Every structure is written in structure tokens, then in C-alpha cells.
Structure 1
Amino acid sequence: MNGSNPFLTPPSTAACKAKYRSQETSRKSQTPEDARKRSERREEFLAKRRSGSFETPNQQENIIRKESVSSYLAAFAEFQHESSSAPANSHALLKGVLGKMKSTEPKEVFKAVQKVRLVTALEENPPLELLVRMGFVRPLVSLLTPETEKHTLFEATWALCNIAGGASSNTLAVVAEGALAPLIGLFGAADPELVGQAIWAVGNIVSDNGHFRNMALDNGLLDSIFPFLKEDTSLALARSVSWLIVNICRTRNPPPSVDVIEALLPKIVWMVRHGDQLVRVDAVWSMAYLSDEPPELADLLVRDTVVLQSIADIPDSNPDNVKFLMGAVRLLGNLLSGTDAHCDAVIRADFVRRFPALLQSNFKCVQRETLMCVANVAAGSAEQIQTIIDVPDFLIQILAFLQNDNRALVQEALWVVSNVVQGGNLWQITALLDCGVVLPLCDHLSSRDVNLVKIVLETVSDLLKRCPSDFMEQVCATIEKCGGFAKIELLQQHDNEILCDLAYFIVDTFFKEDEYDQDDFFSWDPAATAAGVDTRSPYFKSTQ
């Protein structure tokens, strides 16, 4: 084998990336379906948090004034009794409550606003749309002033938080009535419980869409939350602010601007190192969302090494925090599926050496995301693939997932193998073969999963196409010994046309019977042998 062998001289990094990204089977570009599923999982975790009932403990309960809980429950029970005794009069009851909100008596206003908030906090089907249609939002917003009695102000803020946490049309109604500016103004209030409730309300608005987020930013949102990002901030407020920040980073259409993220990143790094796990989770997911945005935002994440260094201790410091691990691995996966600069930044930060520990996680979702990361590295250049090979026993660990009972893990491990075969050089592919990759590949040829079989056939085909002729004979012999050839022959009769064509191509191209008689193979010509030619092989080679 000489130095001009194209197998040993893969194309440049840029050409390699462009080639693999253009392929349907590449792991460098995630499919829309994968992106949708990932988004849904995280959206579930970050769903708008609305205050629930008192019977179900949740993070919002610590906002309620303890000395008032009994009176709240009494008012709630009274309102439910009035509504249930005369269901037809519910609309009339709400109309009466709306009238009392305009009273000049502070106590009457407080009771009315309190009842509105209790209605918005119903566990099942709170009539938020009805409250909006009846015009409750405007008087609630009008109460967001320093002159309003503090208990009434708290109730009004809470009610608006719950309304904004409903459908987008309800959020729009809150914004249209001018609630953003006074809500952000409450961040400077002396009462920490009121501040926390205002932060939740703004968080629900910001999480609705990018335009509302930008409106909040134009009203001084960043300057209002930065004072809370310090060590002496109470845990409740720190968690509220971290949740607001993750919504700033998550909301798209349009994504946040580069200037905003440049200002936020140092604060997010500080949050990652916070002592509270919930704050850390929000911080790492903030970065994960930014890494999935336009490239210029991901550029910010890799430009400063401090950002990636902030999660360098995974998984050692967070082995049981699946939400943190998922956010960190998602961040790395998004960067690895980006540009060469993003991928190289992750590799330089030595995260490839941390992947084996993540693959030992107790959570299959973390293992799958980690395998995706490895597959993205393997979809790069030979130099990037070598970082996988250089980690002791890493290939063996990856290949072990080919024998896993979980289909998703098997498929991701197959993508790693497939990408190494496509982009690796001879020595890297040899490393795969030395680890025994052929046997598990052949085992999956009898799988009922058409997609898995398709990936295996494509991988076998690519492997044989890239092998030099003498090396290919050894691989073919190994495939046959592992029962792979017999299975590939059977797949030529498969109902799936793609599998049938792939199997036929492999058999016809690499396992075609030699076009010479068996007797010729064993023929021996003494005269030719004396002349230095070995005639025991159909391919006469000079022995000189």
C-alpha cells in the first residue's frame, strides 16, 4: 500500500464535513423529527409554571404569606360554594367581583382581587379566557402601582401571572394592557415575596414568544434582574431569576440578540457554579438552548473557554442529576453538530475523554445523548475521529452498546460505527475491526427493525468499498465466518426494496464467485515455478 492510496489520505476537514452533512444518514445534521422530540421533552420540563391549589405542594407555595393561608382557604371555599350552588350564576358572580374591584373601599378591592386570583389558580380548567373576555385584565394592571395596598398588589400580580401563564391569547391580553413595565418595576420592591411573584409573571410573558421577550428587554429587564445574581440573594429569588433567564434564552422567533447574550453569559456561568441544583439546571439548559440557535450565538459559547470549563466537572459532580446531565450533554451535542470551529472547541476542552464516564450513567437518556455526541465527532475529519480512538477502551465500550436491549442506544452506537467507517482512515477502521465490530454488525442483520438493518447494510457496504483488495478479502472472510454472508443473501428476498437492493449490491460486488475453475486454482506448472512464477493462485505473481 503506497502513500497515494485515497483510503489513507481522506479529504480536508471542510470537504469531509460538507460531504457527511449532505448525506441523509449523517449524524452531523439532526432530522426535524429528532429536533422536535428533543424540544418537546425540554418544553415539558420548562412548561409555564402557574400557581396551583393549596392541596398540591409546589415551588410557588413559598410565595404565599403564611399568616394569610387560612383566610385564603376560607375565601376560596366560600367562592366555590357560591359557584357550585348556582352554576348558572357563575358569570353573574364574576361580574359582581369585577364591579367590586372598582370600589373605593380597599378591603372590598382586596377581597375581589383575591377571588379573581383564586379562580385563576383552579387546578382544572380555570376560566382564564372568560376573565379576559369580561375585562378583568385592565383593572388588575391598574393596581400595579406603589399606591396600591401591599396585599392587594400581591394578589393582582399573582392573578396576572396565572392569566399570562395560560394560552397565548391570554398572554397577549396582559401585554396589550401594558403590564410589562409595571411588573418589571416591581422587581425593585422591598417585599421579596412580591418580587418573586412579579418575576414569575414576567417569566410567563417572556416564555410565550420572542417579541414579548424583546419588549421585556426594552423595558430594562436585564438591568432589573442582574442585582439578584449574587451570593446573598435568597434561594427562592435565585431560582425564580434562573427560570426567567432560561426562558429568555429558550424563546425564539426571533432568537435573542448577540448583545443580550453577551451580557447574560457571565451571569449564566455564575449560575452554573451556584450551590443549588435547580439554579445549575436552568443555567446549563440556558446554554443548551443558545447552542441550538443561530451560529453567532453558539460562537459566543466557544469564544470564551470559561463557558465550557464551567461544565467540565460532568458527570463527577452531578451523577444523579439527570436534568443537569441532559442539559450539559445537549449543549455539547449541539456544538458538535455545528461548525468545525464549534466541534474543535469541544474537543480541545477534552470532553471526548469525559464521554466514557457519561456512557456509564444510570440514565439511558444520558447514554443516548452521549452516543449522539460521539457520533457527531465521528462524522468529522480523521483527526477528530482519532480523538475517539485515543481514549483507552472507548471503542470497546461503544461497541458494547450494539448488544444492548434498548433499540435507541443500539441505533446511536451504529451511527458511531458508520461514521468512523465513512470518514476514518485505514488505521482507524482497523481499530474498529480489532475490537470485533463485525460480529455485532452481523447479528443485527437478522433484526426485525428495518432501519437498523439498513444502517448495518450501508455500513458493511461502505466498509468493503473502502478496503484495499487484500484487506477486503479478510473482512469478507470474517463476515462469512460470523454468518453475515448467509443473512445478506437472505435479505435479497426481503419485502423492503431498499434492503433488497443493498443486499444484492453487497453480494454481487464483494462476494461474487471467482470466474475460474477450481482445478485451475490448484494447478501447478513446474516450469513456471522454476521461472519464479507461483501458479498455485489464479493471480500469477512473480516471486522475484
Structure 2
Amino acid sequence: MSSDSHKKLYKKLRANPTDMRTARISNFLELRKRKRENDFQRGRNMLLIMPTNGNTNENNELATNNSQVAEPTTSQVQQQPQLFVVSEELLQKLNSNEEQDLLQAISELHLSLSDIPNNTPIGELVHKNVVKRFVAILKNKNNDSTLQYEIVSILNKIGCDSSQVYTLIEAGAVPVLLDLLSSSDHKVQEDAMSALGNMAAESSVNRDLLFNSGIMVPLLHLLSSCPEVSLVRSAIWTFANLARWRNPPFDCAQIGESMFILKELLEGNSDPDILTDACLTVCYLSNAREHVQAVVDADICRHLVELLVHPERRVFTAALRAVGNVVHGNEQQIKVVLDYNALPCISDLMHYSSHLIRKEACRSIANIAAGNPDQIQAIIDANIFPQMLLMIKTAESKTIKEIIRSLTNATTFGTSDQIHYLAKNNSLPLICDFLTTADTALTLMTLKTLENILKVGNEYQTLPNPYALAIEECGGLTKIESLQSHEDLEIYHKSFNLIDQFFEDEEDDARMTPVTGIDQFEFSPQNLPDGSLDF
């Protein structure tokens, strides 16, 4: 700010504080709008990348696909962020006991911070103890709400820098920000909530600190009673950040109350931001299987299924992830989702343009297929397995893994008739293609699927086993034989056992047992485990 404009602003403040305050509010409403748009885009991307299976790269891509961010230009990529500098004059005013100097300095600082990119290093504010000064000012509950708003906005901006989050905590900002959640000024509440959300996003340690400091009571109160959409957005985003950490998992006495409030948000909102973050919160909470029943009891499943056909991708993506967690529960919980007619919606998403969404849809089917025969029959009736077998020819590796897992589960928990259905329609050559994959887990699932099918083939009255013949004719037997030299012992055992049970001629029953030596092991097929996988 130039010297002339600085003097003009200073005189104006002294001459007419009321007019100055009105002008300042009008000015910062626009600044706040721009800042909140940037903050929410950052926060929502962060939430969308939180993994449900620990795969960071995959979920980073999911976040990129779900955010509408323009590609940076060459000049933007090459340009390095400049340091934010606090002038000595401004620093003196920030430490002044003169209210007018303090107000002006905070206004200047807020304006300057609102105009800089989010990646600008602002450590100088920390080094010069500005944060501690602001926390001390906020402890005075008689402060003007506009002053509170500007200070909290500055703290929120500092909290957007991950390296400075702990500075806010060490300066004692948590209890002060929690007190401001009960402010009569929605703008103050909103920025205080956002600052707390940034803290929760950094670590489970911060999450636990906020829990122990009592964040859940004011948070749930605002979510259930606040009419301000922007504040509800900030609150549900903060809740999602609190729920996202899995190690240790979310442990909250208000889990039942939380679920019913989330149900109300999903039921009574059309705002895509609120719907997305509410679905993500349900998704993160239901990562702990003991919380799935709370999702069912609150009748959230009906709304999740409805949102699977929402026009906005970020909404149905979050809903799909939550549905995938619910159907990872027990048979009764799976039944609730199926009763809301989820399968046609999931089937449609299996053909979506993004392979990550296709993978999530197939993950849901694999979880459902681990249920009971009635639930497997529902998948069959929806004609989903033939679609999967068509997809498997061109699918990305993680989607292939979920398709094979679906077949493994269905052949493990299904009836003989259902397994016969899955073994037909030229499916065996497609399944056998994944016997020689480099993915050990995928190879094991493929072997288990073939074992389940071959067992049912033995039920035919005529010999030989028709599925054994089909596997041999498509080259599957050769691949199984090659697996006997696999470095993974479990794959070796399973392939050895399959050949022994389903492909050996009677005259070859007395086959040789591997020789025991110093660096070898004795192998006795009759003492082997059955090779079943725990799903």
C-alpha cells in the first residue's frame, strides 16, 4: 500500500470509524468469497484422495478427475512462489495497544493475504510471533466481530499452509477457535470452523486433540440447526476431515447422533458440496465395520443409492464409495442396500468413462458377492457377471482384480447351479488368462475360483469333469503346471493340489513326493490346508 493511500485510510479511520467499518465489511465480503472458493476446492480434493484401500496414487488420480481445475500454463509452472513479507511498520501496528492502529494493520494484513496464492510461504508471520498476538486478541471476548472475523480469516489462511498448522495449535488457537463456533456472526463461525478443519486434515493426532477439546458438540449442533449454507459446507467438510483417519479409527460416542444428522443433510439438501462431503463422511465412518450398522439404522442407505444417479460426478463418486463400504458388512446390511435397488445403478457405473469409478463399482459387486446365495442371485438376475467378463478383456489391473474377486466370492458362497452358470459362456478361458499374472494375490484368487468351479464339475454323473476338459483345452492346465515352480509357496501348493485333485489319471496317483534335503521341504498333499481365502 502506498504512503498516500495509507495516510488517507488512517485519517478516514480516525474521522469516521463507523463508515470505515462498513467499507471494510463490504470489501472483505468479496475477498472472503474468493478465498472460500479456493479453500473449499483444496479441501474437497483432499477428501476425495483419501484412500479406502491404501492406494495413494490411484486416489490422487481420482481427486484430479473429480476436480475441475485448469491445467497450469508454462509460466505458472516455472514461476516460484514469492515469500510473504511483513513490514516493520505493519508489525509495529500489529503489536500496538492503540485500537485504531491495530484495526488498520489487521485490515492491511488480511487484504494482503487474500491476494496471494495459497502456496505462498507465510512463515514470517510465525517467526515474528504474529500468530500468538492474534490468539491473545481473540481471547478478549469483547472484541468487535469484524475484528474477530479478520483475525480468524488470517489464521485460517495460515492454517492452509500444512507446515504452519502446528504453529496454530502451539499458540493455543484450538480453544479460542472452538469458542468462536458459538459466535453470533456466521462469518466468524465459518472461518473458525474452516481453520479447525485444516487442523483435522493434517493428522489423526490433531483429530484426537480436537475430539478431546470438545469439537463434536458445537459441530453437530451447527450441522443440525444452522440455516447458512456456507457454514454448513464448512462444518461438514470439517467433519469429513475428522472421520477420514483410519489409524486409529474414528471413535466417537456421538456416532449414532452423527449418523442421523448426516441422514438429514443427505435428505434435505441439493447443494453438491454438502452432499459430496456428507457421503464422504459416511464412507470414512463406515471404514470401521462396527459403524456400518449405525449407517443402516439411520436409513442412510436409501439416500446413498439415490445419489448414485446424481448428475454431478463428485457426488455419485462419494456415494459409490460409501455404498461399497456398507456392502462390505454382513448379509443383513447388504440386503438393505439391495432392497433399495442399488444393483442397476452400480451396473451403469461399471461402464463409466473413468476406470477408477469402474473399479469402485466392481468393488461393490465383489463385496455383495461375498454375501449369501440370494444376494449372488440378485447379481446374476441383474446380468452383471456377463458384463464383467466382457470388461475383463480391456480393464485396468485394479478393476480386473475386483472382477476376479467377484467371481471368487460368488463361486465360494454360491450354490452349485450358480457356479455352473458362472462357468459357462466361455468364461473359463478368460479366467485362466490371469493364472500367470505378476500379481500374487490375483493369481491366488484365480486358482481359488478354478478350484471352486472344478469341485462343482465333479458333481456331474459323467466323467471326465467337463470343466477340467475346458481348462485343459484353453491352455489353462499348462499354466497351472507352470505355477508349480512359482516362488510363492502358497501358489505352489494350490497349483500342485489342483492338478492332484482334478487332472491326474488314476494310474498316476502314486506320483513322486518332492525330495527332502537341507534346503528343501517335505510336501505332503493330504496335510495341506484347503486353500480357501478369507474375504
Asked if these proteins are the same fold (TM beyond 0.5), I'd say yes
The answer to whether residue 429 in structure 2 is matched with residue 411 in structure 1 is: no
Distance 1:335 1:479, change over 3 A: same
CA offsets, 1:391-419, max 9 Å, x none? 2x222112223212411111110111111
Determine the C-alpha separation between the residues in 1 that align with 2:242 and 2:60. Answer: 15
Determine the C-alpha separation between the residues in 2 that align with 1:42 and 1:105. Answer: 48
Match of 1:203 in 2: 197
* Contact 1:493–1:500 (8 Å) recurs in 2: yes
Match of 2:353 in 1: 362
Match of 2:434 in 1: 444
- Equivalent position to 2:182, from 181, 185, 189: 185
The answer to whether residue 384 in structure 2 is matched with residue 394 in structure 1 is: yes
- Equivalent position to 1:510, from 502, 510, 514: 502
Q: How many residue pairs get matched? A: 431
Residue 476 of structure 1 deviates from its aligned partner by 0.9
Determine the C-alpha separation between the residues in 1 that align with 2:316 and 2:52. Answer: 19
AA paired with 2:472? E
CA offsets, 1:200-233, max 9 Å, x none? 22333444413314424377343345332x4xx3
Match of 1:142 in 2: 136
* Contact 1:272–1:280 (8 Å) recurs in 2: no
* Contact 2:131–2:168 (8 Å) recurs in 1: no
What does residue range 139-178 of structure 1 map to in structure 2 within 5 Å? 139-144=133-138, 147-149=142-144, 151-165=146-160, 166-167=162-163, 168-175=165-172, 178=175
Match of 2:525 in 1: none
Higher relative contact order (CA 8 A, sep 6+): 1
Distance 1:146 1:41, change over 3 A: same
Determine the C-alpha separation between the residues in 2 that align with 1:275 and 1:385. Answer: 34
Determine the C-alpha separation between the residues in 1 that align with 2:398 and 2:274. Answer: 30
* Contact 1:180–1:202 (8 Å) recurs in 2: yes
- Equivalent position to 1:489, from 471, 481, 500: 481
Residue 384 of structure 1 deviates from its aligned partner by 2.8
- Equivalent position to 1:236, from 226, 230, 233: 230
Determine the C-alpha separation between the residues in 2 that align with 1:403 and 1:39. Answer: 23
AA paired with 1:157? V
* Contact 1:273–1:310 (8 Å) recurs in 2: no
Match of 1:332 in 2: 323
- Equivalent position to 1:347, from 338, 349, 356: 338
Determine the C-alpha separation between the residues in 2 that align with 1:213 and 1:95. Answer: 39
SS at match of 1:506: helix
SS at match of 2:316: helix
- Equivalent position to 2:414, from 416, 424, 429: 424
The answer to whether residue 287 in structure 2 is matched with residue 292 in structure 1 is: yes
What does residue range 35-54 of structure 1 map to in structure 2 within 5 Å? 35-37=53-55, 41=59
Match of 1:302 in 2: 296
Greater displacement, 426-435 / 496-505: 496-505
Distance 1:446 1:249, change over 3 A: closer
SS at match of 1:431: helix
CA offsets, 1:128-160, max 9 Å, x none? 4x5445432332123335644555333211122
Residue 116 of structure 1 deviates from its aligned partner by 5.0
* Contact 2:175–2:213 (8 Å) recurs in 1: no
Distance 1:418 1:449, change over 3 A: same
Determine the C-alpha separation between the residues in 2 that align with 1:324 and 1:116. Answer: 36
* Contact 1:205–1:213 (8 Å) recurs in 2: no
Give unmatched runs, 5+ long, in structure 1.
1-31, 47-54, 56-79, 85-89, 517-544
AA paired with 1:239? R
Residue 268 of structure 1 deviates from its aligned partner by 4.2
* Contact 2:436–2:479 (8 Å) recurs in 1: yes
* Contact 1:161–1:201 (8 Å) recurs in 2: yes
* Contact 2:447–2:494 (8 Å) recurs in 1: yes
Determine the C-alpha separation between the residues in 1 that align with 2:474 and 2:302. Answer: 45
Distance 1:127 1:490, change over 3 A: same
Match of 1:376 in 2: 367
* Contact 2:484–2:491 (8 Å) recurs in 1: yes
Distance 1:455 1:224, change over 3 A: closer
Distance 1:327 1:112, change over 3 A: same
Residue 281 of structure 1 deviates from its aligned partner by 0.6
SS at match of 1:203: helix
Greater displacement, 37-46 / 354-363: 37-46
Determine the C-alpha separation between the residues in 2 that align with 1:487 and 1:390. Answer: 32
What does residue range 465-544 of structure 1 map to in structure 2 within 5 Å? 465-470=455-460, 473-494=465-486, 498-515=490-507
Distance 1:375 1:44, change over 3 A: closer
Residue 449 of structure 1 deviates from its aligned partner by 4.6
Match of 2:252 in 1: 257
* Contact 1:210–1:254 (8 Å) recurs in 2: no
Determine the C-alpha separation between the residues in 1 that align with 2:58 and 2:428. Answer: 36
Distance 1:185 1:453, change over 3 A: closer
Match of 1:222 in 2: 220
AA paired with 1:222? L
Greater displacement, 323-332 / 173-182: 173-182
CA offsets, 1:312-348, max 9 Å, x none? 3243333xx3322222122122122223432232233
Determine the C-alpha separation between the residues in 1 that align with 2:506 and 2:54. Answer: 50
Normalising to structure 2: TM-score of the pair? Answer: 0.70
* Contact 2:376–2:410 (8 Å) recurs in 1: yes
Match of 2:13 in 1: none
Residue 482 of structure 1 deviates from its aligned partner by 1.9
Q: Please identify the structure whose Cα radius of gyration is greater.
A: 1
Give unmatched runs, 5+ long, in structure 2.
1-49, 65-72, 74-81, 509-535
SS at match of 1:515: helix
AA paired with 1:153? Q
AA paired with 2:444? K
Match of 2:264 in 1: 269
Determine the C-alpha separation between the residues in 2 that align with 1:410 and 1:152. Answer: 56
Distance 1:506 1:353, change over 3 A: same
SS at match of 2:401: helix
CA offsets, 1:440-484, max 9 Å, x none? 012333545554333322321232234435366111111122222
Determine the C-alpha separation between the residues in 1 that align with 2:62 and 2:348. Answer: 27
